[in-house]
Amino acid sequence: MFFKDVIGQEAIKRRLIQEAKEGRVPHALLFCGSEGVGKMPLAIAYAQYLNCQQPGETDACGVCPSCVKFAKLVHPDLHFMFPTIKSKVCDDYIAEWRQFVLSNPYFSFNHWLNEIDAENSQAIIYAKESDEILRKLSLKSSEGGFKFVILWLPEKMNPVCANKLLKLLEEPPQKTVFFLISEAPDLILTTIFSRTQRINISKIDEQSIAQTLQTKYGVLQQESSSIAHLANGNFIKALETIHLNEENQLFFDLFVSLMRLSYQRKIKEMKLWSEQVAGLGRERQKNLLDYCQHMVRENFIYNLHNPQLTYMSTDEQNFATRFAPFINERNVMGMMNELTEAQAHIQQNVNAKMVFFDFALKMIVLLKQ
């Protein structure tokens, strides 16, 4: 993977290349940023550049033996740590992981859960994964270059795994570089956080997203600009806009259904709605609540009549023309608080039917305010 494959983020690319040329490569980098900004492709591109045998001014050569192996993510000195299920280690999923990352380096945690058919299983980085990495790093570098560990979502580490990794970060093997890729750095063990050099990855600029949509996906210029604005710096959202996204459509339909049922006070149907949502699985339930927060916020902002401030699809905007007046200063914070409370309850494994039915009933009162 090359720096040229990373969408936008030109300042970060220049910084990493400059540090490589000056030999100032930290032993542990923490890439922090929201979903879809390119943290994973940046880490892989930097690792490839560092071990490239003929690096150019702005990118790896792509033809040396190291680059050829990086192109397939099979370089023997490139190791990955990522959440798995059923107490399995990453090597059990490494073939699926490589294909998954190569097919689209801009992905989300939920995409990975779907890839491994996690369903209701909770994906974490298990304790024994640290022993696997320690064993791998004890081996000599195959080509005399750096050894890399790309740790995706360190906030998902089992505490035992995190403490063992801490020892590696305190006394790293020679010429070993750790890349930690996080979307929730506040959840990382403080002692690990303090031993990394943090790099904040900002949202991708709209022009870079629009240009990529035009050149790589054949989207027309005017449409690409609209999609880039809707994506709000998240290339995953841009891709979901140009490709049919069944989950987003499901969430939209569920949100619209709940708002209508609540307004009409159809208690029996609301109970059936709650039972349907309860069957989605915990991760999708949390995603639905995230989506509901998004829709409440966007409908509230829609009342300001400033298109530059809203980020909704065409279907969502069409619904907002009728629904937005019901979201106002008197109830918007109440709705957001109820959604936050519901998320906390789902996280704590409270009965989902009770959580969503309770939330639905509260919407009856809030929508009338």
354, two tokens: 């009770």
CATH class of 244-367: mainly alpha
**pLDDT number for residue 287:** 86
H helices, E strands: number in the chain: 17, 5
Residuewise pLDDT in 10s, the chain (369 residues)? 899 999 999 999 999 999 999 988 888 999 999 999 999 999 999 999 999 999 999 999 999 999 999 999 999 999 999 999 988 889 999 999 999 999 889 999 988 988 888 877 788 999 899 888 888 888 777 777 899 999 999 999 999 988 888 888 888 888 899 999 999 999 988 898 989 999 999 999 999 999 999 998 888 888 888 888 888 899 998 888 776 456 778 899 999 999 999 999 999 999 999 999 998 888 889 889 999 999 999 999 999 888 778 778 778 888 999 999 999 999 999 999 999 999 999 988 899 999 999 999 999 999 987
Given a contact cutoff of 8 angstroms between Cβ atoms, the answer to whether 149 and 117 are in contact is: no
**Cβ atoms 79, 148 nearer than 8 A:** yes
Which helix (H) or strand (E) covers residue 30, if one does? strand 28-32
pLDDT number for residue 310: 79
- Model pLDDT, residue 244: 45
The CATH code of domain 3-202 reads 3.40.50.300
Distance CA 269, CA 289 (A): 19
